[in-house]
Structure formats: C-alpha cells, structure tokens
Amino acid sequence: MTAEKEIAHLINQLYTVETLMKVFHRDPHSYCGVTLYDCEAHTLEKIAENEGLSQAQLTRMTFRTKGATSVMVDKLIQKGLVYRDRPEKDRRQCLLRLTEKGREVDRQHQERDLRHARLVAEQAGLTGEELAQANQVLDRLVEFYSTLEPSE
C-alpha cells in the first residue's frame, strides 16, 4: 500500500479507537471516595506532571478551549483536588497545584491506568517492540497535528 493509503487507513483506525475509548471510558471511577470521569482524571494527571502551570498552559497541553479548561479546573477545585496559587511576586499570575487529596487521587488513577495497560498488552498479545514502534508513529502524528490550524 502507498503511504497515503496507509495514513488514510491509520486515521480511520484512530477514529474507531477514539469511538471505542469513549464507550469504554464513559463511566466515572472512584478514587479515595472522589468520583472522576477520565477527562477529569487525565487533567489532574497533567497538573500533577506540571505542577505550578498556568491555566493557559494547561489549555495548550490538553488542546481544549479556554472556557472548557476553566470549567474542568473549577470542577477539580470543587472536588478538593486542585487549588489556584497566586505567588506573592506577581498576584496577577495564577498557578495550578494539587492538594494532598489530589496527589492521592492522581496516584490511585495512575495505578488503575497501569493495571489497565498490563491487561491490554497481555490480552492483545502486543510486544514492547511493537508498542514502541506504534508510539513513535503516534508521537509524530501528535506533533504534526498539534502544529496545524484546525481549518487545514
């Protein structure tokens, strides 16, 4: 098959995977008595990985609108997992940080994701080499698409 046909097939497969993942992840999970949908848990994960980031930085990292990011952050604050920190040096700046509860919820979510990853790798019969190659391709696609304007 030509590269163009392979890319077209890959994109169609990604759409199928996206649909399947939405079905698989539509129900929330409980961590430390806190109920989170996957989009909330993965937003919490981004904040944990980049503690002290701004809401604008989080918007860019998650490919969401400012409004959607604001709503998500507000939900995480209401659940007691995140807080906005305003440094003394620059009170205009607002940095996102995890609470202790947020750290524990993120840790439990990471453990759940790792168990799920083991299950998928085992049951799908995927090797580390196959997964590394697939991740290289996906990394390049993410890099490519993240630099395009949506209308292109």
Supply the pLDDT for residue 95.
95
pLDDT band, residue 98 (cuts 50/70/90): very high
Cβ burial 64-88 (10 Å sphere, 16+ → b, else e): beeeebeebbebbeebebbeeeeee
Q: Concatenate the DSSP letters of all residues of 86-124 into one string.
A: --SS-TT--EEEE-HHHHHHHHHHHHHHHHHHHHHHHHH
What digits encode the pLDDT tens for the residues 5-45?
A: 999 999 999 999 999 999 988 999 999 999 999 999 999 99
Give the integer Cα–Cα distance in Å for 119 and 99.
30
Question: Quick one: average pLDDT of 123-133?
Answer: 94
Give the integer Cα–Cα distance in Å for 16 and 10.
10
Supply the pLDDT for residue 152.
57
Question: Quick one: average pLDDT of 1-5?
Answer: 92
Give yes or no for residue 74 having a pLDDT over 80: yes
Domains of the chain: 27-147 (1.10.10.10)
